[in-house]
């Protein structure tokens, strides 16, 4: 019974004092993606296991160690999504999205599930914002996707992140590279972890992504993919770099970036930060031109990125990035007596229809306790209703910050609150103009 009051390890509760920050960040990301022509898609939180095991990669850590997989009541193997790209590709194929005008651009926000050791910036249930672009094979598309990710980070106040890019080539140049990798790791086979020893014959590229400190150390001296690129892949990568330079995006070529999933090809990239500890990658993505065809669709070039929201929020907190304040209650209607309480409910209902957040007492508190509550929740204004106010039809609206009062009739409370809000906004604007004039 003790577990009933505890969250499952690796999960997190986002409480009201923080949830508005997540909402702001998510809305801002969707808004910026919209500037690039991306529209939101929503896909199921679970898929047939093969959607991930066959497409993410049998030899990846995600598939081998981290997926939440179970048999449903019909005996089908089902997996909670460890990432969203494969499910989105399944969706656009099944629903005929790719039959429309290309490129098709979609974005999403959703929960993902991986059985990993929980640590700062890494949870077993985490959330991703991501984009996928289908039907564009131009290097300009690669640069645009990277530009979108960068604009999101900058707009949200992220500073000090570094863009690292690489090309992992196509299937043809990858063959030569994989042969070179296999030869290199064979010479270090004795020190590799058991998992990587098994990968040596099946997929030595995955050894580069191993989290074992020993394997990571060995991988540092491994051959680099850029030495094995074919002419087409070299040309593509050079044009990606030229496009990034043209739009003023600084980058560093890091030949050790391969990304952790098998479907990537050609351009891969990461935005990394030194302000969130060991989990330094804030955003990562790249091309996956063969995935649509592999999953049964027409051969379609594609690319995208994923951005971990929890990791981003941790980074924003560490950077003391500016966040808008949560909206506070506009008016609290305090009441004395049953008749006044009914009138308070009526006033709040009318204000809410006009789009104003209005609250009244629901706990049978005395007047003093109600006013204390109004102060605790940060109500901007407060009205007290008693027999005198009901008989006269007039109330006094108190500004909880300045103590200033404003008289009006009960019937005109909504109009008065609107008027006070407009005056407050104009006052803030005048103050801002004055501050600019001083500069």
Read off the pLDDT of residues 16-53 as tens digits, 9 standing for 90 and up.
999 999 999 999 999 999 999 999 999 999 999 999 99
Domains of the chain, start order: 2-170+230-318 (3.30.930.10), 331-422 (3.40.50.800)
Read off the pLDDT of residues 130-172 as tens digits, 9 standing for 90 and up.
999 999 999 999 999 999 999 999 999 999 999 999 999 998 8
**Peptide bond between residue 91 and the one before it cis (omega within 30 degrees of 0):** no
Q: Confirm if 334 and 361 have CB atoms less than 8 A apart.
A: yes
Q: Confirm if 356 and 414 have CB atoms less than 8 A apart.
A: yes
Is residue 433 scored above 60 in pLDDT?
no
Mean pLDDT of 222-230: 91
Is residue 315 scored above 60 in pLDDT?
yes
Is residue 263 scored above 90 in pLDDT?
no
What per-residue confidence (pLDDT) applies to 429?
A: 40
What per-residue confidence (pLDDT) applies to 334?
A: 97
Which pair of tokens denotes residue 410?
């009960």
Read off the pLDDT of residues 59-86 as tens digits, 9 standing for 90 and up.
677 887 899 999 999 999 999 999 999 9
Read off the pLDDT of residues 331-384 as tens digits, 9 standing for 90 and up.
999 999 999 999 999 999 999 998 999 999 999 999 999 999 999 999 999 999
Is residue 320 scored above 80 in pLDDT?
yes
Considering the chain, what is the average pLDDT of its residues? Answer: 91
Q: In what order do the strands lie in the sheet with 46-48?
A: 46-48, 77-80, 68-71
What per-residue confidence (pLDDT) applies to 199?
A: 85
Which pair of tokens denotes residue 96?
């005929």
Mean pLDDT of 276-300: 89
Is residue 278 scored above 80 in pLDDT?
no
Could you give the CA distance from residue 382 to residue 397 in angstroms, rounded to a whole number? 6
Read off the pLDDT of residues 385-427 as tens digits, 9 standing for 90 and up.
999 999 999 999 999 999 999 999 999 998 998 888 877 766 5
Mean pLDDT of 79-95: 97
DSSP H/E element including 352: helix 338-353
Q: Over the Cα atoms of the chain, what is R_g?
A: 28
What per-residue confidence (pLDDT) applies to 277?
A: 62
Please report where in the chains the tokens 């400190």 appear, as a residue. Answer: 213
Could you give the CA distance from residue 269 to residue 273 in angstroms, rounded to a whole number? 13
Is residue 229 scored above 80 in pLDDT?
yes
pLDDT above 70: percentage of residues in the chain: 94
As a 3-state breakdown, the chain gives helix, strand, coil percent values, each rounded to 5, of 45, 20, 35
Q: Which of 1-5, 6-10, 255-259 has the weakest average pLDDT?
A: 1-5
Please report where in the chains the tokens 């086979």 appear, as a residue. Answer: 189
pLDDT above 90: percentage of residues in the chain: 73
What per-residue confidence (pLDDT) applies to 426?
A: 60
Q: Which of 235, 363, 298, 256 is nearest to 104 (CA)?
A: 298
Q: Which of 19, 13, 12, 15 is nearest to 326 (CA)?
A: 19
What per-residue confidence (pLDDT) applies to 228?
A: 92
Please report where in the chains the tokens 């898609």 appear, as a residue. Answer: 41
Is residue 431 scored above 80 in pLDDT?
no
């Amino acid at each position: 019974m003790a577990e009933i009051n505890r969250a499952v390890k690796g999960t997190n509760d986002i409480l009201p004092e923080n949830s508005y920050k997540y909402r702001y960040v998510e809305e801002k990301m969707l808004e910026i993606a919209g500037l690039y022509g991306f529209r939101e898609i929503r896909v199921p939180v679970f898929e047939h296991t093969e959607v991930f095991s066959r497409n993410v990669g049998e030899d990846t850590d995600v598939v081998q160690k981290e997926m939440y997989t179970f048999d449903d009541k019909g005996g089908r193997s089902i997996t909670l999504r460890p990432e969203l790209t494969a499910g989105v590709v399944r969706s656009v194929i099944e629903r005929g999205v790719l039959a429309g005008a290309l490129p098709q651009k979609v974005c999403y926000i959703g929960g993902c599930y991986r059985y990993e050791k929980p640590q700062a910036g890494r949870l077993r249930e985490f959330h991703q914002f991501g984009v996928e672009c289908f039907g564009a094979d131009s290097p300009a598309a690669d640069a645009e996707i990277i530009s979108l990710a960068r604009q999101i980070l900058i707009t949200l106040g992220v500073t000090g992140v570094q863009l690292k890019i690489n090309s992992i080539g196509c299937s043809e140049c990858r063959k030569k590279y994989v042969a070179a990798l296999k030869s290199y790791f064979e010479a270090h086979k004795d020190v590799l972890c058991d998992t990587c020893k098994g990968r040596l014959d099946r997929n030595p590229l995955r050894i580069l992504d191993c989290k074992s400190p020993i394997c990571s150390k060995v991988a540092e001296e491994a051959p680099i993919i850029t030495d094995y690129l074919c002419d087409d892949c070299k040309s593509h990568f050079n044009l990606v770099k030229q496009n990034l330079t043209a739009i003023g995006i600084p980058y560093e070529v890091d030949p050790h970036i391969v990304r952790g999933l098998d479907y990537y090809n050609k351009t891969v990239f990461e935005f990394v930060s030194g302000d969130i500890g060991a989990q330094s990658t804030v955003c990562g993505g790249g091309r996956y031109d063969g995935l649509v065809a592999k999953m049964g669709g027409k051969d379609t070039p594609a690319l995208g990125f994923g951005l971990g929201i929890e990791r981003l929020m941790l980074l924003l907190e560490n950077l003391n990035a500016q966040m808008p304040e949560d909206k506070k209650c506009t008016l609290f209607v305090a009441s004395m007596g049953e008749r006044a309480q009914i009138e308070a409910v009526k006033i709040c209902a009318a204000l809410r229809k006009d789009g104003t957040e209005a609250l009244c007492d629901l706990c049978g508190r005395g007047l003093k306790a109600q006013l204390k509550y109004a102060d605790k929740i940060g109500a901007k204004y407060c009205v007290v209703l008693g027999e005198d106010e009901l008989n006269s039809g007039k109330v006094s609206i108190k500004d909880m910050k300045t103590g200033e009062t404003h008289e009006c009739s009960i019937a005109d409370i909504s109009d008065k609150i609107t008027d006070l809000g407009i005056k407050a906004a104009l006052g803030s604007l005048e103050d801002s103009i004055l501050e600019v004039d001083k500069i």
